[in-house]
Amino acid sequence: MNVLVINAGSSSVKYQLYNMNDESVLAKGRVERIGLDSAILTHEPEGKSEVREVSEILEHTTAIKKVLDMLVHREFGVLHSIKEIDAVGHRVVHGGEFFSTSVLVTEEVKKKIKHLFDLAPLHNPAHMLGINAVEANMGDVPQVVVFDTAFHQSMPPEAYMYAIPKIWYSKHKVRRYGFHGTSHQYVSERASRFLNKPLDSLKIVSAHIGNGASCAAILNGKSIDTSMGLTPLEGMMMGTRSGDLDPAVVTFAMGKEDLTLNEVNSMLNKHSGLQAISGLSSDMREITEAMDEGDKNAKLAFDMYAYRVRKYIGAYAAALNGIDILIFTAGVGENSVILRKAVCDGLTYLGVELDDHRNETGRGIEKRISSDSSAVDVLVIPTNEEWMIARDTYELVMM
């Protein structure tokens, strides 16, 4: 059975085709600059060289058609016919309070995703375009939606409610939802397997730190708290996002700088975080390079970033009343030896003991980086959200 995984953005579509029989990736790629006459399709078929095609792609239906054409291309394809794709799984950012698991796409499900456009205006409408584009090209192929928020629907009210006028919740569903759920769920399951300990007996803190960053407290396999909130802006400091701040900063800055709602939103989402403090880059690689060369702003950005990761781990150790496993994942978490060290060196009170040699881990492998005597197993687990989407899709379609 083959499953096509789609992550549709407003001007891009990423895809990955899995053979579920042996869990292999047959091909992956992306279409970028949808809406322009110079859109780019990059296709990476397994065992063949990468193909790049520039053409006019004005909307998502054409983008999906190009992807499907490429998958059955005589030279670069990996399938004989589109009929060999048995199901399609979509990443959907916001499932609101409607969805605590992945579901098969129906008219009712589509209505609910549309209902959530207000809560995720940059994401959910684009995902909807992806779903409709698959329908237009592939008829009634079963489609499944996998939500970034679903894993965190197990949070108790004391974790998800904001202490604000209740009518904002009852009328507009203003509450904390959390994101990166597919990743937090995946790495916690992998950690349990890696250590050969049952998930329902574990207190796990997972730190998904990439361009976006979030931390989750996972008790017996269920999320009980996470650092992102109504939107992916809350929580840890990120590449270009502020993370936590006093909400009064927003109204104060709007008044002083004469900013509109859109402008302040853009400042906090696109012009804050590592980028703002370093004045250099949102990329941790460039920050650490500049820091090594003595750049003080880069050093402050790094220190603030690491400090906030450490604070969240401490908070979640409190939420869980202890911690058995600490997981680092995503771009920064999987790759930055120095960030992991900066975070863990301040967690000795929890019994965290990093093994510096093990911490110098190679990329792409699951590894324990704590010492044998550490009270907490510290793991690096490469995340794989696409695989989780493929797996949920397979399971729902086979049921």
Give catalytic residues, as residue numbers: 148
Binding test (CB under 6 A) with ligand AMP, winner from 336, 361, 370, 393: 336
Mask of contacts with ligand AMP, 183-212, x by CB under 6 A? ---------------------------xx-
Does residue 332 touch ligand AMP according to CB under 6 A? Answer: yes
CA distance 56 to 52: 13
Q: Are strands 222-226 and 377-380 parallel, antiparallel or unpaired?
A: unpaired
Find, among 272, 329, 274, the residue nearest to 307 by Cα. Answer: 274
CB 232 within 8 A of CB 252: no
CB 115 within 8 A of CB 96: yes
Residue 366 Cβ vs ligand AMP, minimum distance, rounded to whole Å: 16
Binding test (CB under 6 A) with ligand AMP, winner from 44, 189, 263, 283: 283
Residue 176 Cβ vs ligand AMP, minimum distance, rounded to whole Å: 21
Helix (H), strand (E) at residue 212: none
Point out the residue whose Cβ comes nearest to ligand AMP: 331
Does residue 240 touch ligand AMP according to CB under 6 A? Answer: no
Helix (H), strand (E) at residue 73: none
Does residue 284 touch ligand AMP according to CB under 6 A? Answer: yes
Judge whether 210 is annotated as a binding position: yes
Task: Give the pair of three-digit tokens for residue 168.
Answer: 């904002």
Helix (H), strand (E) at residue 4: strand 2-8
Nearer to ligand AMP by Cβ, of 105 and 295: the residue is: 295
Does residue 335 touch ligand AMP according to CB under 6 A? Answer: yes
Judge whether 211 is annotated as a binding position: yes
Does residue 301 touch ligand AMP according to CB under 6 A? Answer: no
Does residue 331 touch ligand AMP according to CB under 6 A? Answer: yes
CA distance 95 to 161: 17
Amino acid at 160: Y
Residue 61 Cβ vs ligand AMP, minimum distance, rounded to whole Å: 28
Helix (H), strand (E) at residue 256: helix 248-257
Helix (H), strand (E) at residue 8: strand 2-8
Residue 163 Cβ vs ligand AMP, minimum distance, rounded to whole Å: 31
CA distance 208 to 342: 16
Cα 249 to chain center, whole Å? 27
Binding test (CB under 6 A) with ligand AMP, winner from 52, 115, 285, 296: 285
Nearer to ligand AMP by Cβ, of 66 and 340: the residue is: 340
Q: Which residues are annotated as a binding site for substrate?
A: 91
- Rule CB under 6 A: which residues touch ligand AMP? 210-211, 239, 283-285, 330-332, 335-336
